[in-house]
Amino acid sequence: MNASALLTVGLHGLTAGSVLNPWILGPAVSPSGEITGVAAMVLIFLSASLFLLGAVSFALGYRRVAGRALIFSLLQFGIIYGLSFFALDWAVGRSLPQALSGRLDVPKADLYGWGFSPRQQVRFVHPDTGEVFIETMNAAGWHDTDHPRVKTRKRVLLLGDSQVWGPGLRLEQTIGRQLERHLGPEYEVISMGYSNFGTDQEYLALLHEGIVLQPDHVIVLMTMGNDFADNSSAHSTFGTAPKPHFNLEAGELVSQPFSGRKASILRRIAGKSHLCVALRVMLGRGRSETPQSGPDVTRDDGGGTYHVYRPPGSEQDLPNLRKKRIFDEDWSPDVAESWDLTLAILREIKKTCSPTGASVILYPNFQFPPDYRFPPETIRLLGLQKPAPHKPFQLLMDFCRSAEIGYVEEPVELRSDLHQGRYGFRNDPHLNPIGADRTAQLLASFISETDAETIRGEARP
């Protein structure tokens, strides 16, 4: 093999070995989750083999070529490979678009684990149609409009996870924007939320950015199943991105040391590469093999059609959620610990808001209809022993009454519509524009009634 061929093989091997390294492909927030163990082992072997082959080939070629010939070979390779890579990356981006859920190389990542930069343009993908559109973050890096520093209207601060972020939704379709529309010109709604946020990160968002905006109402939108798992985890529940978290020590909330995984130049390139993101998704845990409709999946097992409740993510994600069997009658110690930790975080949110006079409102969405029963598949997936779908909601309601936190209870008809998939995307477990609007109507009614009771001098039960 001549020197030029050796250099070409060497540079290809070094490049391929770097791109396929799991450390470069990860960590991830969502939707890919972490790369599965078997895939990671295969990638490590391939990456090391290609890198070693590339290093040896390049060294042999380098020894045979010197001076201008070496420079010419490197330039030739760089131009050809660079053009080829960008062409392939563009093709993958067009044919396999992936929505971004958060970046690890932005200032917000130092506070919350992941986020976006001010005015950053973010790619969204409609779950059902595949339409790709770009949304521009506001001056604070949230999927929201800009807000003046000086308060001129009543302010509502909406904290939450992906339901507030709005996967597949344009800005005007999100819960926050539609809530402001329903409340009218007397109110200003500020949204702060990213996919896979836990209540702990929402509390930090309140401390760092929310409370200084002087909100009159703080709404915490909670996704019951995975939020409890999020709060007791040091990384994204459906990924490997590290996140800040708290422990409960002697009844006190104690912040744990957190240092975000700094993104190297290679990881920044990989994070922006359509090819690398697509590889991570294909090799990760974030794919769902079953078409989804809102939070439920319609199934027909031969004995009739019924709806199967599925937590966010695919079946491969369920080991994280099984550790937090919040929908079981008998809780294991880790479930009870996660529950106590979440309640402690909610108390701190209330404590933070009390000096300002802001009310705190908790809205655990996707509440089950009164006669709802988990179907057999859900019981198997979650590993439930004594299914109790209403237990955590009732306990949360009791807690909110004792802690003087507002609790939004979904009307029965809304619960039925949600769990029949009428307000969710067909291929994604998030609210569609109609579902976001229906949620906004519910929250607007609650806030309006709360303010009316305040004017009358009454206390909401």
SS3 content of the chain, % helix, strand, coil (to 5): 50, 15, 35
Burial of residue 35, with CB atoms counted within 10 A of its CB: 0-12 exposed, 13-18 middle, 19 or more buried: buried
Residue for token digits 């609650």?
446
- Model confidence band, residue 200 (pLDDT cutoffs 50, 70, 90): very high
Query: Measured between alpha carbons, how far is residue 71 from residues 4, 13, 66, 80 in Å?
Result: 11, 19, 8, 14
> Residue 360: which of 221, 208, 161 has the closest Cα?
221
Q: Quick check: 161 and 189 in contact, CB under 8 A?
A: no
Q: What proportion of the chain, given as a percentage, has pLDDT over 90?
A: 40
Residues 6+ apart with CB under 8 A from 60: 3, 6, 10
Interacting residues of 376 by C-beta distance below 8 A, sequence separation 6+:
none
Q: Which residues pair with 286 in a beta bridge?
A: none
User: Residue 345 — very low, low, confident or very high, per pLDDT cuts 50/70/90?
Assistant: very high
Band the pLDDT of 457: cuts 50, 70, 90.
Answer: low
> Are 159 and 221 a contacting pair, CB within 8 Å?
yes
226-263, pLDDT tens digit by residue?
Answer: 888 889 888 887 666 788 999 999 889 999 988 765 55
pLDDT cut 70: percent of the chain above it: 77
How large is the average pLDDT for residues 145-154?
95
- The model's pTM is 0.79
35 Cβ contact list (under 8 Å, min separation 6): 22, 25, 26, 43, 280, 283, 284, 285
CA distances from 142 to 166, 294, 392, 431 (A): 11, 24, 30, 18
Spatial CA neighbour of 231 closest among 144, 103, 337: 337
User: Alpha-carbon distance 244 to 112, whole Å?
Assistant: 6
C-alpha span between 157 and 211 (Å, rounded): 9
363 and 337 in contact (C-beta within 8 Å)? no
Cα 38 off chain centre by = 24
Residues in the chain: 461
- Identify the residue with better confidence: 134 or 103: 134
* Whether 104 contacts 271, CB under 8 Å: yes
CA distance 304 to 264: 53
DSSP assignment, residue 242? Answer: B
Token pair for residue 456? Answer: 């009358």
The arithmetic mean of pLDDT across residues 431-454, rounded, is: 93
d(CA 25, CA 239): 12
Indicate the average pLDDT of the chain: 81
Quote the tokens at residue 461.
Answer: 């039960």
